[in-house]
Amino acid sequence: DQQVKQNSPSLSVQEGRISILNCDYTNSMFDYFLWYKKYPAEGPTFLISISSIKDKNEDGRFTVFLNKSAKHLSLHIVPSQPGDSAVYFCAASSLTGNQFYFGTGTSLTVIP
Amino acid sequence: NAGVMQNPRHLVRRRGQEARLRCSPMKGHSHVYWYRQLPEEGLKFMVYLQKENIIDESGMPKERFSAEFPKEGPSILRIQQVVRGDSAAYFCASSPQGSGTYNEQFFGPGTRLTVL
């Protein structure tokens, strides 16, 4: 049972444009959400997080939006750079939980 | 401050052999998590440990898999009598605190297990 879903396996964006990666979840107990970035043959690297008391969190070029009623979050990257090309995983957890639930990832390609 | 260390990075085993995967958490982190990533899938939680304690093993297969995090030394994920379906990337993560706080988990580079 996939509790966190990333329905777009891949995304291509021109350098300088906005990249929007989407994530949906089903468990209403989730209250902490994260985005990880992963390069081939490396482990996931933490990018940005948001707790359910917020609907937006910004860190430089990266902004995460949370829509609790729709059980949806998105990651915006502006402006996109070729070095952003990687697989992006959405993850969710609860304050009382012990694990992160990961989506299947979206492979982002930023075209120079 | 070194990150999460995992070794070996690549491990090849024949069916029926044992696989031992090691993980050293970040300095100051006492919470360790193991995840498995099968091809074309996301990371799936296996087990959560603190020093000398298994806190949550709800994601571990009931047979052949075990994990430990001794007082001294790295955390070990052990797979006995490996089968081809065990071929995957195994990631270890650590955090300074466990459940009850909001904090990210820091991941190691993973061990890619191939079962022939």
Q: Could you tell me the pLDDT band of residue A98, with boundaries at 50, 70 and 90?
A: confident
Smallest CA-to-CA distance from B47 within B39, B61, B59 is with B59
Look over chain B and give the mean of its residue pLDDT values, rounded to a whole number: 92
Percentage, residues of chain A above pLDDT 70: 100
B26–chain A Cβ distance below 8 A for any pair: no
Chain A neighbors of B58, CB-CB under 8 A: 99
Instruction: For chains A and B, count residue pairs whose Cβ atoms are closer than 8 Å.
Output: 64
User: What's the mean pLDDT in B20-42?
Assistant: 92
Distances (CA, A) of A49 to B44, B66, B116: 19, 31, 39
**Yes or no, beta carbons of A102 and B35 under 8 Å apart:** yes
Residue of A nearest to B56 (CA): A98
pLDDT digits (tens, 9 = 90+) for B50-104: 988 999 999 999 999 999 999 899 999 999 999 999 999 999 999 887 665 677 8
Q: A19-23, B28-32, B98-102 — which is least confidently predicted?
A: B98-102
Q: Could you tell me the pLDDT band of residue B37, with boundaries at 50, 70 and 90?
A: very high
Give the contacts of B63 (CB within 8 A, at least 6 positions apart): none
CA dihedral sign of residues A94, B110, B25, B8:
positive
Q: A21-35, A67-81, B29-43, B92-106 — which is least confidently predicted?
A: B92-106
Rounded to whole angstroms, how far apart are CA atoms B34 and B56?
11
**Yes or no, beta carbons of B42 and A103 under 8 Å apart:** yes
Residue of A nearest to B48 (CA): A98
**Yes or no, beta carbons of B101 and A41 under 8 Å apart:** no
User: What's the mean pLDDT in A31-46?
Assistant: 93
Rounded to whole angstroms, how far apart are CA atoms B7 and B111?
6
Chain A neighbors of B45, CB-CB under 8 A: 98-101
Residue B94, classed as helix, strand or coil, is strand
User: What's the mean pLDDT in B7-32?
Assistant: 95
Residue B84, classed as helix, strand or coil, is helix
Chain A neighbors of B56, CB-CB under 8 A: 98-99
State the pLDDT at residue B100.
59
The count of other CB atoms within 10 Å of the CB of residue B74 is 17
Assigned token pair, B57:
């093993």
Q: Which of B4, B42, B108 sits opposite A104 (nearest CB)?
A: B42
pLDDT at position B1 over 80: no
**Yes or no, beta carbons of B91 and A44 under 8 Å apart:** yes
